[in-house]
Each structure stands twice: as C-alpha cells, then as structure tokens.
Structure 1
Amino acid sequence: MNDENCPYRIERVTEKNFHDVVTVFRDVFNPNADETFLRKKYATDYLGVKYIGYLAYNDDYPIGYHGAIPFLLELQGTTQLAVQGCDAMTHPKHNGRGLFVYLGKKTEELIKQQGISMVYGWPNQKSSLCYFRKLKWTKTGTMRRYHIHVSTLPLSHASKISALTANAYTLYQRLILNRFRQTSNVFASSVIDDEHGGLHRNKDFFRYKRALGSDIYQIAGCKIWMKIDGALLIGDIERNSEANILKLLKALQRLCRLLGIQEIRFQCSPDCFLDKIFSRHYVSHDSWETGGKNFTDIIPLEKMQFTYGDLDTF
C-alpha cells in the first residue's frame, strides 16, 4: 500500500479527532478502555510535542491508528527527543491489507520531520514481524520479567466486586501509602551509567507519570517509583546498595500483605543495574522484545536500557 493506492482516508491525530483513537482502541483492544487515561497518556505538552501518529478511516469510521509518544533520552549528559511507538492497531475487518505497515511508515516520516532522533518500543507477538521485518526495526534485546509472590488475602481483587468496595479499598490504600509518599519526587533512571542511557526524568516527567497513577515513595531507606494495579508494579528503584534494595523488597512484601496484594512485578533490560541485583535472588522470565530505529546518531539505540516505568502504560 502507498499514497497512490491507499483506499482509506488518512489524518494526523489531533486534539479534535483524538476520540477516534479511543474508538479504534476499544474496537481492537478493550471495549472498556478509559478515554481519560488515554488522553493523559498522550498529553506530552511538557515536551512541546504531542500527537505523533496517523488515523485511517473507512467511510468516515476510524479503523486504524499508528502512534508514538515523545520522551527525552539521556546518555553521558546529552539529552535528545525520541518517541516510543505504541497503540499501533487495525480493526480486524481490515487486517492483512498492509495498513499497519503503511501507517507505520507515515508515522516514521512524521517523526523525522519533527527532528526526533529515534523511535523505540516493545512490539507484541502479533506485531513483531511487522516491526522487525517490514518497518526495519533493529532488535536490541528482551526485557526480563520478575514476579515475587506474596501470601495474603486478595483484598485488591475483592475491591473490584462493586463500586462501594472499590471506593473503600482505594481510601484504605491511600491511607497506608501516604505514610511513604516522597515529597522530593524525582530521581534519575537506575539504568544510566557511563556506558548506557535511559529516559531523562525530571519533575515534568514524573508529573506526567503521576497523572497515569504512579508515584515515588520512600520505603526502607530507598526511593521507589511504583503503582498498584492489581499487583504492586515497580517502575524503578533509585540506585542504592544491594543490601538496602533487598531490605526494600522485604518491606514491599510486608506492605503487600497489609494491602492484600498477592504479587510484586518488575521488568527491566538485561544486565542493567537492578537486573544484576534481582537476578542473584529471584528467577527471571523473558518478556517483550525491545527494538527501534535511529534517525540520528546522537544517542545510539543499542546504548539504551529501560525499566518497567518507562513503558507507556505505566
């Protein structure tokens, strides 16, 4: 498919047509998708760039979308704007016609026009062929996933029985977590060292991420970025000694028992700072493939590492 033979109407995503992105998301991924969450996820005004992507319409009905969310990368003191590819989707009735790749190429053209250095992301099993073979992404590794199981009553799941139980649990959770909420709510990515880069995190970055439900806490002498969504999800942990991080993980298990949460989850790039610590004490499993494409050579893709909080859904 190309511009000459494309049978669909193509529009760049804007504030005005963003609801159509939500429509495609509900048709393809989740009929109950929260429009407010999706709008917050794409609200990257703090970077001066937003709405990188294209919609496809068939008879004025949105049936496809390919987008990306801007973030700043940091390597050896240099920062550069990049985008995370995400929410690429085609309505099932229009699969197999080349629309996914066509919208992907148009989005990459827009990325280059905006002077953005790189696109990166974590393709799922269904889309990895399109990204790595047809869009010529380079695979740079596979994220490692850690699960720490906690024996406790499943209060977090029971809270979903009704609106009443959900509200009661949310209040209880807030009362517990507010004891640990950190006022100095910024810390650098734990993956960044002399050899590797990561996402550049400042107050604006964490303000954006807090709107999606995560926050920074001080627990057992460590700063931790986390959120609760059924499980306790660790976005990142500020660099500290291995002994202190292990104390933190024990404290998190006690916190989970108090909150009725049965699992702690963490994901990160292989051989990064936290992976080296976690791997000495817990079993890891392969998770998403990491890949992308450089449009400039300022920050090489292969130098980048990530943690769970760097994903667009965190």
Structure 2
Amino acid sequence: MLYRNTYRLKRLEKSDFPAVKKLFWEVFNKRVSLEYLENKYNTSYLGVEFICSIAYYNNIPVAFYGAIPQKFIKNGHEIYVAHACDSYTMPDHQRKGLHFQLAKFAYNIMVKNNIKFVYAFHSENTYFSTKKLEWKEHVPLQRFHITVKTLPFGKVLNKIGWNNFYALFFNQKVSQNAIEKLMQEKKSKHTQLFTPEFISYKNSFKKHYCIEIEGCVFWIKIEAIIHVGLSYAPSEIALQKAIKKLKRKAFLLGITELLFQVDPKSVIASQLKTIVNPKKSWLVGYLDFAPNINLNNFTFTYSDLDTF
C-alpha cells in the first residue's frame, strides 16, 4: 500500500470489486455486474492474479489501473506477460498524475510476479497516456471484414440479450484436436497458451463457440456479428471453402459480418488476404521488464483482448 498526498494506492483485492464497479458507472456510465468483474480478473488458474492497482481518496474510489496476466508459450517455453485493459480516473481527480502512479505501482506488482512485459491494443487515449510511461510500439493488427448480405436480426438478438440462442447452432466444447490446431504457431512464435482451463476462464464472463469446417477451426464469440478469435486453416483453399459454409450459416441467423483481427505476419493473415483485403486495426504497444524481449517473436490475436 502506498500513500501519495491524500491518495491511497493499493493492489486490487476481491473486496475492491464494488469500488471498481462504481468507477465503471461513474466514469463510463456503463453498468457491469460484480460477477463479470470477479470472473474477468480471476486468473487464479494461472497461479497469478490481481496485478492491478486502485486509488482511493478519503476511502472513495477515484482511479483504477487494470491488467490481466497471460501465459504465452513457444516450443514448450512458457512465460508470463500482462495485458493492460481497464484504466480510468474520476474527472475531478484527473491531471494529478494518478494514472502514472497507479501504472508504476502495478508494474512493480508485475515484476514481482515474474511478468516479462505489459502490452495493450491501443486506442487513441491509451496511446497518448502510455507515452509518459515510456512504452514502445510494435505493429498494428490487421482486421478482415467479411460481409454477409442478410436481414440483420442478429443485431436485434444482441440488443435484447438473447445471445445464448446461438448455443442451439454452434458447439461450445473445444475438442483436443481443435486445441492442437489452434496452437500450431506456438512452434515458431510465442502464442497465448490455449488450454481447457483458459477456455473455462474465458467462458466464465463471455460465451464462446468452436466451429470445425473443412479441416479449419474457428474459436468465436457472437455479439451481433461473428468475432473470430483464434483460427486455423490447413490451406488457403480449405479456408475459402470453410468461410463459404460459415457465411451460409450466418445468413440464416441474421449475422451480417465475420470479423477477424490477426497478427499481420501470421499464417492466417496471408490466407485471409485471398478472400478480402485487410484494414489496419489496433496498434500493439508494450513496456518490457526483462532484457532481450523482442515482440517479433510473439503472435497476438483477437482472443488475447480482455473483452473477447
């Protein structure tokens, strides 16, 4: 715990989640449940959790710096990294260096937990806020929008919260064969470890489905459109055939788009370019805590995002 003037900075604990929920509402006017927050930050399956920091002013929560630990693997070599995500400060307490101090406080927690670097998918706000923290720039992801011409009633289902409807049409279980295919790139680059424990963690606050078509695998979530997290295709032809079949199913379900967001140097990126041209997506920014960290040895995907 650290005191700076009248602010109290501390490591996040489970008892702080009501305060985090309150900040979500007061800063973003967004309602989230305690269950959602507790499940999202419950990374005990990794052996590391609560690498975040929160600030109080006279026992009133005023700022939060959120981050989630992740485990990446390459050729059997595992390392911990941190994904910076939720970060906000009450308007009356902005421009007082709180974000900077909370970030530094969280970074000390990360280093003590053997985390090698922290990274984020930058928005305009996070890009500028990390400049003072001496973050570095990697490369932007690429997004591939595959449109489906259909009546957009998937958007209606999402608006009224009927997303569980899709469990009637898509499989929530991920076979061991599918897991092995989705982890193909771990042999050449560090990729987030995709295991049954990771899948259970993600499903604790978001619903996901696994689609296997034409030897391809797509791990997805559906919120108005199909968001594709991890994906694998044995060839360009197989991917093209699988996408045609997936588009037919999307058409019947009123889903207007398939969205991929992938590392530009990944195999799936080169395969997707045979179907549609990419657009620039989030810039990956990072701050390394260990020597010799080279993000060219890492592959990031849409499913690494905290809200996926």
**What TM-score do the two structures reach when normalised by structure 1?**
0.89
Question: What is the match of residue 154 of structure 1?
Answer: 152
Residue 59 of structure 1, CA deviation: 2.5
Question: What is the match of residue 67 of structure 1?
Answer: 66
Question: What is the match of residue 196 of structure 2?
Answer: 203
Deviations 1:143-197 (A, max 9, x none): 11111111111121222565xxx55x733x222224x854436234354342x32
Deviations 1:212-253 (A, max 9, x none): 211322233322111101110001112411111111111121
Task: State the AA in 2 paired with 1:144.
Answer: Q
| Contact kept in structure 1, 2:136 and 2:285, CA below 8 Å | yes
Map of 1:75-86 to 2, 5 A cutoff? 75-86=74-85
Residue 123 of structure 1, CA deviation: 2.4
Pick aligned residue for 1:258 from 245, 249, 252: 252
1:267 and 2:261 correspond: yes
Residue 298 of structure 1, CA deviation: 6.8
Residue 130 of structure 1, CA deviation: 2.0
Question: What is the match of residue 127 of structure 1?
Answer: 126
Deviations 1:66-85 (A, max 9, x none): 12111111123311111111
| Contact kept in structure 1, 2:63 and 2:90, CA below 8 Å | yes
Residue 26 of structure 1, CA deviation: 2.2
Task: State the AA in 2 paired with 1:202.
Answer: T
Pick aligned residue for 1:304 from 291, 294, 298: 298
Task: State the AA in 1 paired with 2:100.
Answer: V
> Which of 136-145 and 72-81 deviates more?
72-81
The percentage of counterpart residues that share the same residue type is 29
Distance 1:8 1:41 in 2: 26
SS of the residue corresponding to residue 312 of structure 1 reads coil
Q: Between Structure 1 and Structure 2, how many residues are aligned?
A: 304
Task: State the AA in 1 paired with 2:289.
Answer: F
| Contact kept in structure 1, 2:215 and 2:233, CA below 8 Å | no
C-alpha distance 19-189 of structure 1, shift in aligned 2 (>3 A): farther
| Contact kept in structure 1, 2:236 and 2:274, CA below 8 Å | no
C-alpha distance 221-301 of structure 1, shift in aligned 2 (>3 A): closer
C-alpha distance 6-288 of structure 1, shift in aligned 2 (>3 A): farther
Question: What is the match of residue 23 of structure 2?
Answer: 24
Distance 2:291 2:126 in 1: 26
Distance 1:161 1:115 in 2: 41
Distance 1:300 1:312 in 2: 22
Deviations 1:257-278 (A, max 9, x none): 1111111111012121111111
Residue 52 of structure 1, CA deviation: 0.7
Residue 27 of structure 1, CA deviation: 2.1
SS of the residue corresponding to residue 66 of structure 2 reads strand
Q: Which runs of 5+ in 1 are unaligned?
A: none
1:286 and 2:285 correspond: no
1:214 and 2:208 correspond: yes
Question: What is the match of residue 136 of structure 1?
Answer: 134
SS of the residue corresponding to residue 17 of structure 1 reads helix
Deviations 1:26-55 (A, max 9, x none): 222342223322222111110111111111
| Contact kept in structure 1, 2:149 and 2:256, CA below 8 Å | yes
Distance 1:269 1:87 in 2: 22
Question: What is the match of residue 102 of structure 2?
Answer: 103
Question: What is the match of residue 37 of structure 2?
Answer: 38
